[in-house]
Structure 1
Amino acid sequence: MRGMKSLIGDAVLAVLVTLVGIVGTLGADRWTAAAHRPVDAIGVGLVAATGLVLVLRRRQPVATLLVAAALTSTYLVLGYTYGPILLALLIAVYSAARHRPPAASVPTAFAALLMLLVHIFTSGGTLPGLFGVIPGSAWVVVPFAVGLAVRLQREAAARARAETLRQRVDDERLRIAQEVHDVVGHGLAAIKMQADVALHVLPKKPEQAEVALEAISRTSSDALEELRATLAVVRRTATQGPAPGLARLDDLRKRMREAGVQVQLTTTGEPRDLPAPVDLTGYRILQESLTNVLRHSGDKRASVTLDYAADALVITVTNPLTGSPGDGGGLGVPGMRQRVAALGGEFTAGPTGDGRFEVHARLPTEGHP
């Protein structure tokens, strides 16, 4: 459909240029009849053919230029007056530079220039011919430069669009990787801790091992449910189960307690419904922070503070620094930092002066759907 529209547009342009060429040539002939060969049927035919060939200017721009240049050169060599026939040549030169790469358009334009300059050296002495080369060349050089500039500009815009699309794809892949990391990493850390407890107490206290195994079952089910929901969003299908958010904070604390981490929660301000991106990011930050406590802290205690400020949700998670901070090149802390930055918030994570490790995030609640 697009190709048909362009062909129709070129046909209309060719007809208009042809009409302008014929009328303009006949008018110019009246003013310069004494200085040039009078325009006859051959001259009109050359003007008409040069204009009509433009119908192929986008489909066959190289052939169009060569034909237009040959017809124009013949017209001028026969001694007809300068006129609108050169308009068709300008359009043909521009089209070749615009629609073909330089490797094809430059040699073609050079050949067209040579054909155009033939009449300069056949119309008089050598000296006047040389003086006529520069203005004669402008009929090819100028439209070629314009067409090439337009082509380069369009190619640069296309590359910019492709780069933007590639960046969006990369950002989406990173987002999905972070989601899967948070879901799977949290679940596996809790399962490992509970499995270690079950193995430890199984010989002497099998009833406690049974409790740990039940916790493993619940944790794995929750992790699978969240993973399915995340992958369903990627596939643009309906999610299974509630979307992760601070409404599921009690379930998160329960899983942490079953895995051996005691979480003390403090809420300040008036809890309210949050924009979906803020709600999800807040939950993921808490999930990853508590998972790091489970993995890296020898003292399985954490303090969580949620501050519902007027224009932001402020999250603070602290725990005794008895092991490694947990930022050894993994995706955890960098992933949290990228999540917060995507919302235009502030994020810090590191040891404090009182022997604790603190994760602090401020998530703006304004400007989100």
Structure 2
Amino acid sequence: MGLLRFGLPAALVAVGLVTAPYIQRFNPANRPVDAWALALIVVAGAATAFRARWPLPTLVVVVLSTTTYLTVGYPYGPIMFSVAVAVFEVARRRSLPTASLWCGGALAVLLVHLLTNSAALDGYLGLAPGSAWVAIPFTLGVARRLVVEAGTRERLEAERRLVDAERLRLAQEVHDVVGHGLAAIQMQADIALHLQRTKPDQAAVALEAISRASADALAELRTTLAEISPDAPDRAPTPGLAHLDALVARVEAAGLTVGVVRRGTPSPVPSAVDVAAYRVLQEALTNVVKHSAHPKASVVVEHGPASLTLVVSNQNLTGAPPSEGIGITGMRRRVEHLGGTLTAAQHDRTFEVRAILPLTPSS
């Protein structure tokens, strides 16, 4: 950037100083190039060094120097490149209304020489050179600014989508953990209240289950929140299918009977698939605890050569399919994010959640 900032002004000054004496030969009617002409070329070229920081003052200095140069009768030459550079920077770095106003004014001032320079082109032909040196760089500068602004908007939008996606992922994780824990605690609390009235001596068992369920939920919640700070010292292992038995034990402690069937040959699965599978099973069983009047569910985990299939079903005594809430929506989002499919449907009087996760996730 430093080389471009000072290299371009140096080049404009050098080209102007070298070529100005020779341009005089093409039109002897112009005023001979002298020390004042060279000084104006230097001022116009050197001013462009400040074009990025002060584009409007730079435009003023360059246009006034160039107009003075042309008005007193010096020949057209590379000094016009300084005008083009200054106009380009204003159009690039200022809004369209502001740039149009300043560059339009610059053009009006620049064309003053048509009234005083006898060597200038006559009539409308005289407008063409000055107008071109402003209109063309102005158009290029506006186009450049629009491209940069579009790129900035796209980058900000991409960053916003990433932030929103991360928030959604963390919200889903917290929902799964807290929802599962609270469902188990609520059921155990109901059992404790019932036992307190009928068998007070056994209420302690339910209270112990509540304590275990809350401790497990808090531990898993800390694991989820620790993902925000990867260097957290108490970060726990990410849950997966290896924790299925512990999940089933917690659900059964809440009063639900769960039958687990494993099919196929278990093999290592990608971490993302492992976590998604655990969360799907957790949420499906939590929904049974919260919504089903029949406290029994069956779980099938089938390992295939290219996919992992999960099925959670329970008897729906009402026969009416439950409405999809944040739980089923979240499960489907998890599975589809990895290129899989999830269905939650009523079959006769059995409600079934079926998820198929590819072992080579697409995302």
Both proteins in one fold, TM over 0.5 = yes
1:300 offset after TM fit, Å?
1.3
Distance 1:208 1:286 in 2: 30
The answer for the alignment partner of 2:11 in structure 1 is: 16
The answer for the alignment partner of 1:312 in structure 2 is: 307
Distance 1:327 1:311 in 2: 31
Distance 1:255 1:327 in 2: 25
Distance 2:193 2:334 in 1: 37
Q: Deviations over 1:149-171 (max 9, x none)?
A: 10011011101111111111111
Give runs of aligned pairs for residues 1-369 of structure 1, distance below 5 A: 5-6=1-2, 9-29=4-24, 31-124=25-118, 128-236=122-230, 237-323=232-318, 325-328=321-324, 330-352=325-347, 354-367=348-361
Distance 2:235 2:226 in 1: 8
1:87 offset after TM fit, Å?
0.9
Contact 1:65-1:92 at 8 Å conserved across structures: yes
Q: Deviations over 1:56-84 (max 9, x none)?
A: 00010011111111111111112111111
Q: Deviations over 1:267-292 (max 9, x none)?
A: 11211222111111110100000000
Distance 2:323 2:195 in 1: 31
Distance 1:239 1:287 in 2: 23
TM-score, structure 1 length as denominator? 0.93
TM-score, structure 2 length as denominator? 0.94
2:99 aligned partner, one-letter code: S
Question: How many residues get paired?
Answer: 361
Distance 1:326 1:185 in 2: 17
2:132 aligned partner, one-letter code: A
Contact 1:225-1:240 at 8 Å conserved across structures: no
1:348 aligned partner, one-letter code: T
Report the CA distance shift for 1:76/1:126 in structure 2 as closer, same or farther (over 3 A): closer
Contact 1:32-1:81 at 8 Å conserved across structures: no
Contact 2:256-2:296 at 8 Å conserved across structures: yes
1:33 offset after TM fit, Å?
4.8
Distance 1:204 1:46 in 2: 104
Gaps of 5+ in 1: none
Gaps of 5+ in 2: none
Distance 1:142 1:259 in 2: 76
Distance 1:28 1:344 in 2: 69
Query: Quick one: percent identity of the two aligned structures?
Result: 46
Q: Deviations over 1:99-128 (max 9, x none)?
A: 122232221101110111111233359992
